[in-house]
Amino acid sequence: MQEPNSAFLWPDAPEADKYSVCVHCGFCLEVCPTYQQLGDENHSPRGRVYLIKQAAEGVLPLDESVVDPVFTCLDCRACETVCPSGVQVGALIEEARGQVFHAAPARGWKGLIQRFFLRAVFPKPRRLKLLAGLLRFYQRSGLQRWVRKLRLLAVLPKHLREMEAILPKVPDRRAIDALPPEIPATGSTDKGVAGLFTGCVMDVFFADVNQATARVAARNGWRVRVPKDQLCCGALQVHAGDRDMARQMARRNIDVFLASGADRIIINAAGCGAALKEYPALFRDDPVYREKAEQFSARVRDISELLVESGFEPPQGEVPRTIAYHDACHLCHAQQVRTQPRTLLGAIPGLCLVEMADSDRCCGSAGIYNLTHPEMAGALLERKMDDLPDGIDGVAMGNPGCMMQLMVGAHRRQADVEILHTVELLDLAYQREEVGTR
Amino acid sequence: MTSSRANDAHLIEFLTDLFGPSRVLCRPHQLAAYECDGYVAQTGLPRAVVFPETTDEVAQVVRYLHEHEVPFLPRGAGTGLSGGAMPRNGEVVISLVRMNKLLRVDFDNLRAVVQPGHVNLQLTRKISAQGYYYAPDPSSQSVCTIGGNLAENAGGSHCLKYGVTTNHIVAAKVVLPTGDVVDIGAEFGDALGYDLLGLVVGSEGTLGIATEITVKILKKPEAVRTALAMFDTVADAADTVTDIIGAGIIPAAIEMMDQLAMQAVDKSNYHVGYPKDIEAVLLIEVDGMAAGLEDVAAEIVHICHKHNVRTVKVAASDEERALWWSSRKMAFGATGRISPDYIVQDGVIPRTKLSQVMARIQQLSEESGLRIANVFHAGDGNLHPLICYDSRVPGQTELATRVGSEILKACVDAGGSITGEHGVGVEKIEEMRYMFDDTDLAAQAAVRQVFNPADLCNAGKLIPKPARCAEVKHMQRLIEQHAEVFRDLEDQTLTLRS
């Protein structure tokens, strides 16, 4: 129940049980990227939780004193990994953003763009497809060349120009369209049905990663089904505070995947994976969908998690490269998946895996954070690039947002490092072994 | 104070000119996050927060605040547990977190110089590749700053063998509460004259603000052995501690937790899996030359067995050892898993009185109906009872505070002290009277007067005003209870004047 004078007036507010768990010990400070950068308690996890509590209790209004810290949070959850008391900072931040979304919807061009993408594009499969098509047209028709030649991009802020410069070449078809509805298992064992969640950003820019994921799962004994009427997971909506839209999308995904007969729901994007696993939180007050969401979430596995849990065949093909691994926040902090991707990479013959300093510090991508908070995101990217070990050929990771962010970083420094998804390397090793046996 | 409030506009202008707007927080709503440190039972809003980056900036702001009679206090990571860095008088908080550089390291002479905002564990991380470390290791070492450690004379698990912060700081540059900058201590050898460094370390920010700190670093021990021993009774565990030390072994650390503390931490990310039916667990560590260390570890296991240990094992890997240590070091924070609020106390007793004082704590728990979890630096007799309460239940905060006070008195009665490493702060200021008489307190107050003549630097912490009569106390209480009214009065006066 809310305090009588609470600044949180809308349903789904941060719960007292969640913020009162914080005992203010401060262990979270030094792992918080924004606190490391600014040294300001307002931009630390315990500070944010304290402000949320103050707002909930009516001591503070829902003005910029609460809104800025809540939106400057990267939602990277590094604080949750260290918190001895188990404060769900991510959930509190998301719920507080929900209140802000109701109280003061983002205005100006930022708000317009946000609403356009979060409400009008990502939740609509056909529009998403159209967007992918437009981007493809932009890249292939020569328009991109002309735009660059005429320096039309000069009107954009630097971080958007950089983003445009690294935009991966949009593949011909998204995996959701290209893949058959069911891919038979190619391994000797039948482990069951794995429903492939294709996602939005991953499938627009990195459809190859989805293809590789399907191949690798099938190769290891899973019948892979690709439900065609699935939607984007809704993580970006939750992060922006648009919980109603997120719920609409989640309902569809839950129904579609439960009906598909999938024993496991597999995903290769850390942010989406965390969102799927946290669907029950979206439906905490919904008796019907809470239970369904729990059934759904219990089946969700990151692809690396699935392979290590259910067993995978060590690949025989060689990939002689030196690779560093970056821990995507929503994989290591939100899902506690750390060792599995390293196990996969370690099993690839010829691949030399080198650890990098602070591999689990946020790269600054954080959904659309690098668009809404370019300065902080840029500073964090610089630190990430500084931490890349010398002499590596590439960096592997498990999230499309991080991949694009690190591509910007590599572009900025003219660094010759490949930015890869973990599963791409594994897939490559399998493919090379087929060539070898032929 | 009214006069200084009237000058707030000038103050903010000065601060903004000196630091630039991005390094000053002054709007009321930006200040809430600075209401308290790790001790949350009392809170107070600061007037402003500033983030200096050099000694000179600290000196300039302090000089100005001194001249204009504005109270101020230094703050590090704010992990202190006795309220030493929380504002009571509308202070300007001088946050030192951006002064976080490692200025130099002299490996040959075992010295490092850091700025006060340097995080304790970071120093060890930065010099460990060369085989060195910084010994004092408070539980919050992954986040607390060396400046804060200096202010509180922080201890840590390994201070049984290696000593507390004061044994590791050899010199400091200090901005006095008047704004003068002095160098105290000596990088090598003993400083001449009065031991000012000894005074400043542990002065809880009341004698000045350290801006450069020279510490000793140590060569990492060649080998470490860590044992985890579970006991059916606290008495057996306590006797084991006494016996180990009696056998001439000087462990690097001996830590104890009781069943409730084990339960809390086992619910956290740092799960060890302690049995539900043991009363105490000991974490015993020895370090030093590799030769012979195995024998010492075996001797410790032997002593545990003599005292009916249920199980005892030596860590088989670095991961296991790290988990055991995390489990111990995160125990305070993990108490949030079993209770909405807690007060952690910090009493010291002679080691041999452990069973007796534990019985008293148990009795206080039963009388008050409040659960008390116990975590100790058993080797030094430094107790940390965690009094669990729920601030939403009327009267429980006061009850918990009273129980805490009774525990401290029991420690003093047993021949110990009211604080081992957390400082007095505001939390234990009244218990200072239980430990010291008026003459003792007056002597301490006189020292403070020399350094901090206007009492603007962290006033109201550490030393109670000597011998206040009952009426004054009553008035103080009234003012505290009705602080809002008095603040409003002030505002109205201001409005009338303008």
- Arch. (CATH architecture) of B221-338: 2-Layer Sandwich (3.30)
User: What per-residue confidence (pLDDT) applies to B6?
Assistant: 44
Select from B19, B23, B29, B391 the residue whose CB has the most chain A CBs within 10 Å, as the one to mutate to test that interface: B29
B78 touches chain A (CB under 8 A): yes
* Rounded Cα gap, residues B177 and B458, in angstroms: 9
User: What per-residue confidence (pLDDT) applies to A328?
Assistant: 98
Which contiguous run of DSSP H or E holds residue A385? helix A374-387
Q: List, in order, residues 6 or more apart from B318 with CB less than 8 Å away.
A: none
Other Cβ atoms closer than 10 A to B66: 20
Select from B24, B25, B39, B79 the residue whose CB has the most chain A CBs within 10 Å, as the one to mutate to test that interface: B79
Structural domains of chain A ordered from first start: 16-103 (1.10.1060.10), 109-166 (no CATH), 175-308 (3.40.50), 315-434 (3.40.50)
B37 touches chain A (CB under 8 A): yes
Residues of B in contact with A26 (CB under 8 A): 37-38, 77-79, 140, 143-144
A339 touches chain B (CB under 8 A): no
Contact in structure between B245 and B379 (CB atoms under 8 Å): yes
Q: Which of A22, A42, A83 sits opposite B30 (nearest CB)?
A: A42
Residues of A in contact with B34 (CB under 8 A): 41
* Rounded Cα gap, residues B340 and B348, in angstroms: 26
Residues of B in contact with A39 (CB under 8 A): 51, 95, 97-98, 100, 117
Least confident interval from A225-229, A304-308, B155-159:
B155-159
Question: For residue B497, what pLDDT band results from cuts at 50, 70 and 90?
Answer: very low
DSSP state of A118: I
Residues of B in contact with A24 (CB under 8 A): 36-38, 40
Please check whether the domain covering B5-95 is classified as CATH 3.30.43.10.
yes
| pLDDT exceeds cutoff 80 at B195 | yes
For B245-318, strand residue ranges (E) read 253-258, 280-288, 309-314
The interface predicted TM-score of the complex, written ipTM, equals 0.90
Q: List, in order, residues 6 or more apart from B328 with CB less than 8 Å away.
A: B139, B157, B255, B257, B265, B283, B375
User: What per-residue confidence (pLDDT) applies to A1?
Assistant: 52
Judge: B142–A30 Cβ closer than 8 Å, yes or no. yes
List C-alpha distances in Å: A332 to A310, A335, A361: 20, 6, 10
Q: Scanning every residue of chain A, which has its alpha carbon at the shortest distance from the alpha carbon of B99? A: A39
Q: Where are the alpha helices (DSSP H) in A150-219?
A: 158-166, 175-178, 201-205, 207-219
Other Cβ atoms closer than 10 A to B103: 12
A161/A183: higher pLDDT: A183
Which residues face B210 on adjacent strands? Answer: B174
User: What per-residue confidence (pLDDT) applies to B4?
Assistant: 46
For B81-131, the pLDDT digits (tens) are: 999 999 999 999 999 999 999 999 999 999 999 999 999 999 999 999 999
* Rounded Cα gap, residues B257 and B230, in angstroms: 10
| pLDDT exceeds cutoff 90 at B162 | yes
Give residue for tokens 């107050």: B445
Q: Scanning every residue of chain A, which has its alpha carbon at the shortest distance from the alpha carbon of B329? A: A84
Q: Concatenate the DSSP letters of all residues of A231-263 into one string.
A: ----HHHHHHT-HHHHHHHHHHHHHHHHHTT-S
Per-residue H/E/C for A318-357: CCCCEEEECCCHHHHCCCCCCHHHHHHHHCCCCCEEECCC
Judge: B269–A86 Cβ closer than 8 Å, yes or no. yes
For B291-334, the pLDDT digits (tens) are: 999 999 999 999 999 999 999 999 999 999 999 999 999 999 89
DSSP state of B417: B
Closest Cα in chain B, distance from residue A33 (Å):
13
| Structure tokens belonging to residue A288 | 């019907």
Residue range(s) in chain B whose domain bears CATH number 3.30.70.2190: 221-338
Residues of A in contact with B333 (CB under 8 A): 23, 25, 27, 83-85
Give residue for tokens 């030769």: B291
Residue range(s) in chain B whose domain bears CATH number 3.30.43.10: 5-95
What percent of chain B clears pLDDT 90, i.e. is strictly above it? 86
What is the rounded average pLDDT for all residues in chain B? 92
* Rounded Cα gap, residues A80 and B45, in angstroms: 27
Mean pLDDT computed over B195-202: 97
Judge: A39–B269 Cβ closer than 8 Å, yes or no. no
The count of C-alpha atoms lying within 13 angstroms of the C-alpha of B258, restricted to the half-sphere facing its C-beta, is: 22
Select from A27, A59, A82 the residue whose CB has the most chain B CBs within 10 Å, as the one to mutate to test that interface: A27
| pLDDT exceeds cutoff 60 at B498 | no
User: What per-residue confidence (pLDDT) applies to B478?
Assistant: 64
